[in-house]
Amino acid sequence: MTTRILRGRAHCFDGVLDVDWEICPIEDLNYLRSAEGCALSYGEKQHFLSRNCLTRLDPDFPNKVAPGDILVGNKGVGWGHDHDHAVMALKGVGLSAVICETTRQNFQRNCLHHGLPLVKVAGVFASVATGDLLELDLNAGTLLNETSGARLTFKPYPEFILETLDAGGLYAGHLGHANT
């Protein structure tokens, strides 16, 4: 079986994270819908959207993320519309996974379909602080906070979803963003 263990530093954000407000402003989505925006490649869109990712909550956030870092949210992560630009913004800043208490299916499915693992882990927000080193095992359904020693569990996804994540999303092959 493929090993599916992610390791990265946590970035914690409390409160509802609206796809169109906190995660990535609607103005940036509107640009992507313009003729110029439509012409961008997948990678260029990610790069464009990453500039304002979560900057309403932390203006310097895009510069603080190291590739592979993990977003840890509380309740209402990915709240609002099914606008998937928010997922591309999170990928664009370099995040490798989203862990939260609660979300909505449109956001959850958009994350998985873009190849960004999102897991709901009860108790995660109280167990993790920004900067903690996390180990997320998608096969086992375990989250280890290496900094504090806390260990939490969650229901793992079925194999077909994990394979979608392995591939880097539903369309990674022909859109040119396969995981490497």
Partner 1 sequence: MAGKNVIQKILARSVGKPSVETGDFVHVRSNCITTVGGDGDGRGLGQLDPNAKPSVFDPQRIGIVVGHAGAGGMPRTAGNHRRKMRQWAETVGVPRENIFDLGSQGVEHVIAGEQAWALPGEVYLSIVDGHTTALGALGGFAVALSYGAAEYITKGYTWIEVPPVARITLTGRTKPGVFARDVYEYVLGQIGPNGTPSQVIVWDGDYVRDLDMDARFTLCANALFSSAWTNIIEPDDVTLDYVRTRTNKALVPLYGDADAEYEQQLRFDVSDIEPQVVPPPERHRAAAVSKHAGLKISKAHIGTCANGRYEDLKLAAMVLKGRKIHPDVMLNITAGSTAVYRRCLDEGLIGIFMDAGVFLPPASCGMCAGGKNTPLADGDVCISSGTCNYPGRMGSSKADIYLASPATVAASAVTGEITDPRQLL
Chain residues 31-50 in contact with partner 1, contact rule CB under 8 A: 32-35, 38
Query: Which residue number, 45 or 145, has a Cβ lying nearer to partner 1?
Result: 45
H-helix or E-strand spanning residue 44: helix 42-50
Q: Total number of residues binding partner 1 (CB under 8 A)?
A: 43
Out of 1, 3, 60, 155, point to the residue binding partner 1 (CB under 8 A).
155
Smallest separation, CB 60 to partner 1 (Å) = 21
The answer to whether 63 contacts partner 1 (rule: CB under 8 A) is: no
Are 6 and 135 in contact, with CB atoms under 8 Å apart? yes
Out of 12, 167, 175, 178, point to the residue binding partner 1 (CB under 8 A).
175
Amino acid at 79: W
Which residues, including other chains, have CB under 8 Å from residue 48's CB and lie 6 or more apart? 28, 31, 32, 37, 40, 92
The answer to whether 30 contacts partner 1 (rule: CB under 8 A) is: yes
Out of 54, 70, 87, 90, point to the residue binding partner 1 (CB under 8 A).
87
Residue 103 three-state SS: strand
The answer to whether 139 contacts partner 1 (rule: CB under 8 A) is: no
Closest among 70, 72, 81 to 25, alpha carbons compared: 81
The three-point CA angle 1-153-158 to 5° equals 40
| Separation between Cα atoms, residue 31 and residue 149, nearest integer Å | 44
Q: Which parts of this chain interact with partner 1 (CB under 8 A)? A: 16, 18, 20-21, 25-27, 29-30, 32-35, 38, 75-76, 79-82, 84, 87, 102-106, 108-110, 113-114, 120, 155, 157-158, 160-161, 170-171, 173-175
